[in-house]
Amino acid sequence: MSRKILIVEDDASTSAYLAKGLAEAGHAIEACADGRDGLFLASEGIFDLIIADRMLPGLDGLSMVSAIRAAGIATPVLILSALAAVDDRVDGLKAGADDYLCKPFSFAELSARIEALVRRSDRAATEPQKTKLSVGDLEIDLLARAVSRAGRSIPLGAREFNLLEFLARHAGQVVTRTMMLEKIWNYHFDPGSNVVDVHIGRLRRKLEDGFPTPILHTVRGAGYRLAVEG
Amino acid sequence: MAIRLSVTARIALLSIALALVSNLALVGFVWKTTSADAIDAIRRETTEQSEALRAVWRSGGLPAIRQAIGSAVVPGDVSLVLAVVDPKGRAVVGIAPERLAVPLRVTQFRIARLGADELWSARETGYALHPLGTYWLLTGRNLDLIAAEERAIERALAVAVFLSLALGVLGGLVLTRYVGRRLDGIAKAIEAAGEGDLSRRVDMIAGGGDAFDRLAARLNVMLGKLEGVMAELRIVTDSLAHDLRSPLARLRTKTEQAVLIADPDAREAALGGLLVETDLVMRMLTMVIEISRSGSVSRDRFIEVSPANLLEEIGELYAPVAEDAGLVFTIAIDDRPPPMKLHRELISQAITNLIDNALRHGAGGGEVTLRIVHQTDGVAIQVEDRGPGIAAADRAQALKRFGRLDSARSTPGAGLGMALIEAVARLHDGRFELADNAPGLIARIVLPL
């Protein structure tokens, strides 16, 4: 689905790379290189998402995001920055950004985060809160916290359920390891070992053992996707 | 042309001036008091003699006073002036100038030249004049002796001035040499530091403890710290550059290979490998930044955290990983410590690093325990394994940034994990220590309560 995305980035090559990649993914792109211009454009309220650098001329990224929020604009903002320390990310999120991605970034991760952000804001705007999610023959009852596939109940631990719910809310999209660490475990650092893969592996065995079709797919170099394919 | 004097030359000149002024003041004071005392004595003597002789005159007239003067004159006393003078100023009896050059009128005590002739014109006399009928009684004493004393004092003064100058110059030279040498040592150390040599130190006088020594001691401490920081920085830079070379070289080779692969599936697999290498490099750089920044993390980042809950969360995250690696993974919380103010993210990262290390290096031992120990002085969060452990002698090396033990060279990692844990422990005013688990390793973060 095509989205209108504003890129506020003063590094011309990064801006061009982002614009090209996102345009190829079917989005409509507008770009500017100055924090004040970014604030002006954002205040038009026509964008589905704003991608902002932190270090900007005119008005720095954090101040720009704060100003956007102070003006009552709810457009999702993703900060894209080379300032990658834990405290930098916390600063970004506290300033009012919805997500924070560190440079250098993988395009798959950026796309996954963009989809997650705009989908969430769409849902917040239009859909009533769902109590059930389904992906193919997989049913997730959010109230009873129960999961079944093809009518057969699958018992899950609390953390496994949260993981599956997160994947199901972004069904069909790539969800990266970092996103899962951030949303499920609230860790804003890379633990280095394959912790997420191990948890996904366990969840996958519960969801797929005894069923003919796979439902939790590995996207090489990017992350995982919950979907019925083929 | 303005003359620029060095500090030491100024100090020397100042010391000379001070010596001169103090000597002059002292000698001047002696000169003044000596002279005043002597004149006072003469005044008293003159007055007493005058009164005594007038009494003799009143009782015995001129013959009696002639006799009294005769017996009062001591042979060889050249300074005594004692005479009866006629109304024309000529001495009738006693010692006085041929003719008095001072007016004949009652005089209590005065200092003047009494005669105009050669003998008397050069000398001053303290005298008194009193009438004896038509005659006058002259009593007094020449000031030659006082003048001689004054000359002697003046000579002493001249010698004193000379000596002060000489001593001042000498003292100045000694001071210049001493101060100069001390300042020189300090200046040289600073100059050397400015040129990049931080190993130079300022010499101190054994048992000294003067201002120069205190300055030198502080300077030496500062230079020592600076040297340590620079050495660490150099190690970090060198090690970072060194340790980056391997993954970057692999990255380059793999990229080259990937470019040449024709089969799309194989190329995709190769590109996946590139991402893994890139992530490794990124992780190293992120960790170096986290370590260097951990020193300046503000306290408002600290939040109330229950260490036991945190440990359980992390344990839950890692338990499947440990189990998949075939390990017995235990979380041991015997006594739940109270909530503490912690930097949740950094502490979590430090603990996951500990577990990661245990999984990587201690997995052979078959068990890993995540334990919390509530001690009187703090809370110890520790990860215990049953692997080969680290010999006591090697533990300091393991804690250093980029410090990797030879045994760990074959496994991936840049030796930054331990350094980060150490930095995080320090950030919390705690400490990081390694201990023997007999067999195996206990890696422990102790946080003060």
Full DSSP string of B41-82: HHHHHHHHHHHHHHHHHHHHHHHHHHHHHHHHPPTT-TTEEE
Q: What percent of chain A has pLDDT over 70?
A: 96
B43-55 burial: b if 16+ Cβ within 10 Å, else e: beebeebbeebbe
Taking an 8 Å cut-off on Cβ atoms, the answer to whether B282 and A194 are in contact is no
Give B282's contacts in chain A (Cβ within 8 Å): 104
One-letter amino acid for residue B268 of the chain: E
d(CA B67, CA B317): 135
Taking an 8 Å cut-off on Cβ atoms, the answer to whether B317 and A190 are in contact is no
Mutation target among A174, A195, A220 for the B interface, most CBs of B within 10 A = A195
Taking an 8 Å cut-off on Cβ atoms, the answer to whether A220 and B268 are in contact is yes
Nearest-neighbour CA in chain A from B357: distance (Å): 10
Nearest-neighbour CA in chain B from A193: distance (Å): 7
Give B278's contacts in chain A (Cβ within 8 Å): 104
- When CB atoms are compared, the residue of B297, B321, B349 closest to A198 is B321
Parallel/antiparallel/unpaired status of strands A223-226 and A175-176: antiparallel
pLDDT of residue B133: 83
Taking an 8 Å cut-off on Cβ atoms, the answer to whether A193 and B348 are in contact is no
d(CA A31, CA A48): 14
Is the Cβ of A177 closer than 8 Å to some Cβ of chain B? Answer: no
One-letter amino acid for residue A4 of the chain: K
Blockwise average pLDDT, block size 10, chain B, 449 residues: 64 78 82 85 90 88 85 80 86 82 86 79 84 88 80 82 80 80 87 89 76 87 88 79 80 88 87 80 80 77 90 90 91 90 90 90 88 90 91 79 57 68 89 90 92
pLDDT of residue B381: 95
- When CB atoms are compared, the residue of B320, B345, B352 closest to A188 is B345
> Helix (H, G, I), strand (E, B), or coil: what is residue A188?
coil
* For B297, nearest residue in chain A (alpha carbons): A87
pLDDT of residue A78: 95
> Helix (H, G, I), strand (E, B), or coil: what is residue A141?
strand
**Nearest 5 degrees, angle CA B305-CA B308-CA B311?**
95
Give A190's contacts in chain B (Cβ within 8 Å): 279, 283, 286
Nearest-neighbour CA in chain A from B209: distance (Å): 46
B125, β-bridge pairs: B112, B142
One-letter amino acid for residue A88 of the chain: D
Q: What is the model's pTM?
A: 0.63
pLDDT of residue B1: 45
Taking an 8 Å cut-off on Cβ atoms, the answer to whether A86 and B271 are in contact is no
pLDDT of residue B444: 93
Phi (first) and psi of residue B214, to 5 degrees: -65, -40
The tokens for B286 are 């992120």
Is the Cβ of B277 closer than 8 Å to some Cβ of chain A? Answer: no
The tokens for B331 are 């979380």
Give B301's contacts in chain A (Cβ within 8 Å): 87, 90
B446, β-bridge pairs: B380, B431
ipTM of the complex: 0.79
